[in-house]
A = this chain, B = another copy of it.
Amino acid sequence: MTMLIYRYREFQSKVINVNISQWGEKKLIREIAALVDSELCEEGLVGIGDDAAVTVLTPGKRLVTTTDMLVEGIHFLRGSIPPFDLGYKALAVNLSDLAAMGARARYIYVSLALNKETEVGFVLDFYRGLKSLADRFEVQVVGGDTVGSPGPLVISITAQGEADKVLLRSGANPGDVLCVTGTLGASAAGLQLLLDPLTDCPAAIRQEALQGHYRPVPRLPEGHFLASTGAVTAAIDLSDGILKDLGEICERSGCGAALREKLLPLSFAAQTVAALTGKDPLDLALSGGEDYELLLAVKRECFPWLAGEFAARFGTPLYEIGEICDGKEIIMIKADGEREKLAYGGFTHF
């Protein structure tokens, strides 16, 4: 990462104040391709540069495809996220959907609608950030589209993965254990820090929160392992906030859920930022969204084994947070035993 950032700065000094209309479409695409193109080793495969990409899946695997669109001013503010992080995060959001299906990620396609005044340094840094994450999971950038636009920056990424067994949102049953693959609320705490710098926030907390917000790590190997076990009955990634995402599982599985307040793994960053701002840390964890952990329903009899195996493989626990119930409601069992009905929350696009 350090290396990449260093090379970017060196490069940027040469292209500063050059916008994409000065380079033109052809040169921009050539430079992007030089940045992201990876060797397609097999004979007859085709990456960026023709009418379409030609790739292969492992024989016998199913194709798992997801697509996400991000719009400047709605999903991100250009001034408050560095382009490198924007590229990283745009891909992370997408790969997280493959993780939630239990798929192995293979190929990605990146389309951008760009104002012609956009600086080329911005675009190339976006691709550098994206590529840094793609390389981490051995995903290849093999296509896309770059077009002009009079409006906000729009990013559309399609990711293709492959799988034998997949995890679905439907399939949860009353009695299943609800669990998450990591702590909650760091991303929402990071967003708080962007809105209000909170000068008395310790540096390590700031780093944890901004890391959570800018550089979430999609749970790809974890999802792939979880799908292989047959113990998981439903799964979703936490993008819109646990209440809304759990609501999806409940709706699609035809059931309700109970969360136990004292089991919810609040990230230390969320607790600290909540204390500094006088907010309830639970709100950051429940409705903040963008944690990109996996939320799972697991057969109760399998949970002890699965949690042990998961911790052994990935060095991090599966946090039990409640259970799937009959009915259609989501209930919070508070620390004092009181039961509170929760409203579905989270992000709505319009």
Contact = CB atoms under 8 A, between A and B. Distances in A.
Interface of A: 20-21, 24-25, 44-46, 49-57, 59-60, 62-71, 73-75, 97-98, 100-101, 103, 107, 109, 111-114, 116, 142-152, 154, 156, 158, 160-161, 163, 166, 168-170, 235-237, 252, 348-350
Contacts of A67: 109, 111, 143-145, 156, 158
Contact of A54 (B21, B54, B64, B148): B64
A345 to B, nearest CB: 14
Contacts of A21: 350
A166 B46 contact: yes
A262 B130 CA distance: 49
Nearest to A142: B65
Contacts of A55: 62-63, 65
Copies of this chain per assembly: 2
18 contacts: A44-B62, A50-B101, A51-B101, A52-B65, A52-B101, A52-B103, A52-B161, A54-B64, A55-B65, A59-B59, A63-B63, A67-B156, A69-B111, A73-B150, A111-B156, A114-B350, A151-B154, A156-B156
Given A20-B350, A25-B350, A152-B151, A54 B163 contact: yes
A143 B20 contact: no
B148 A349 contact: yes
A350 B74 CA distance: 24
Given A150-B151, A151-B154, 8 more contacts: A21-B350, A52-B161, A53-B64, A65-B107, A65-B158, A67-B143, A74-B150, A148-B350
Contacts of A166: 44, 46, 54
A56 B63 contact: yes
A50 B65 CA distance: 11
Contact of A51 (B24, B70, B236): B236
